[in-house]
Amino acid sequence: MHANPVSISLSSYGADFVRQRGQEQFLDLLAAAGVARVELREELFATTPDAAALGAVIAALDLECLYSTPLELWTEQGLPDPQLTHKLDTAHALGAVALKVSLGHYHERCDMAALAALLPVHGPLLLVENDQTRQGGRIEPLQHFLQRADQLGLRLGMTFDIGNWQWQGEPAAQAARQLGRWVRYVHCKAVQRLADGRLAAVPPQAADLREWAGLMAEFAPGVVRAVEYPLVSDDLLTLTRAQVRDLSLLGLQAASTGELSHA
C-alpha cells in the first residue's frame, strides 16, 4: 500500500519569507521531505523567472510542478481573462502538470466556446479553484460551470480548497458531494476566526484531519493533496515531513484500490 501524494503550496512558508529567499530555494527541502509536487505561486516571484531553467531543476529533483496564478478565469463581461494563454504558456515552460486559477465572474452567458479555443490539447491541465470571493467561492456557479464544461468535453478539472468554503458559509461536505467527481487537486487548510472577526488559515488539529479523511472519500483515489496552511518552525524539514506524513495517510485505504491521480 502506497501513501497518497502530497504537494506543498510554497505560500505556506510565509509570503515575505518566500519572496526574500526565492521559491527555488525551497525545492531541496521539499524533495528531502518526501513531497511529490511543488506548487509555485506567481505572486511570490520577486522577478520574472526563467521558467525553463526552473522547470529543469524541479524535474531533476523528481518533483511534479503545479503553477498557481491569482487570475480569475471569467471576466465580468463573460469572456475568459485575456491573460489565460500567457499563464498556460508559463505553466508549460515550467513543465507544470496543471495551471490553477479561480473561477471569477462566471454566469450562464459566459462564452464557453472562447474558453475551449484557448485550452491546450496537451500540456498543463486547467484547474479551477473555489476561492474566498462571492463570485468564486460558492458551490452553485462552480457546479454549473463544470457541468457545462463536461457537456462540451473541455479539458479541465477542479482544485477543491477545503478551507475556502468557510469564507462564503458553504458546507465543505456538501461541496465535496456535489463537486467531487471533478476534483483533481485538494488544498488542505483548517480555518479559525480571529479576535477581530477575520478568518485565517491555521494548521490542522486531529479533528480536522478526521474531517478531511471523510472528504477524500468523495474524490478519486490517490488525489494529490496540498499543504496550504502556515508552516513555521526553526526546523522546517522535520515539520514539513510530519505534515506530509499526516496528509499522505488521508484516504489511504481508498487509494489502495485504484491508481494514483497525478493531474
For residue 233, give its domain range. 6-255
CB 73 within 8 A of CB 43: no
Please report whether residue 30 resides in a domain: yes
Mean pLDDT, residues 46-71 taken together: 97
Q: In this structure, is residue 166 part of a structural domain? A: yes
Within a domain: 58: yes
Summarised one tens digit per residue, pLDDT across range 111-132 is 999 999 999 999 999 999 999 9
CA pair distance 163, 192, nearest whole angstrom: 10
157/252 Cα distance (integer angstroms) = 22
Q: Is residue 263 part of a domain?
A: no
Q: Is residue 262 part of a domain?
A: no
pLDDT number for residue 253: 55
Q: How confident is the model at residue 252 (pLDDT cuts 50, 70, 90)?
A: confident
Task: With respect to residue 159, please indicate whether it lies within any of the assigned structural domains.
Answer: yes
Domain CATH code at residue 193: 3.20.20.150
The predicted structure's pLDDT at residue 251: 83
pLDDT, one tens digit per residue, over 159-218 is: 999 999 999 999 999 999 999 999 999 999 999 999 999 999 999 999 999 999 999 999
Taking residues 12-39, what's their average pLDDT? 98
Q: Supply the pLDDT for residue 254.
A: 45
Position 246 pLDDT exceeds 90: yes
**What is the mean pLDDT of the segment spanning 1-28?**
94
How many structural domains does the chain have? Answer: 1
Residue 113 belongs to a domain: yes
CB 38 within 8 A of CB 30: yes
The mean pLDDT of the chain is 95
**Predicted model pTM:** 0.94
136 is a domain residue: yes
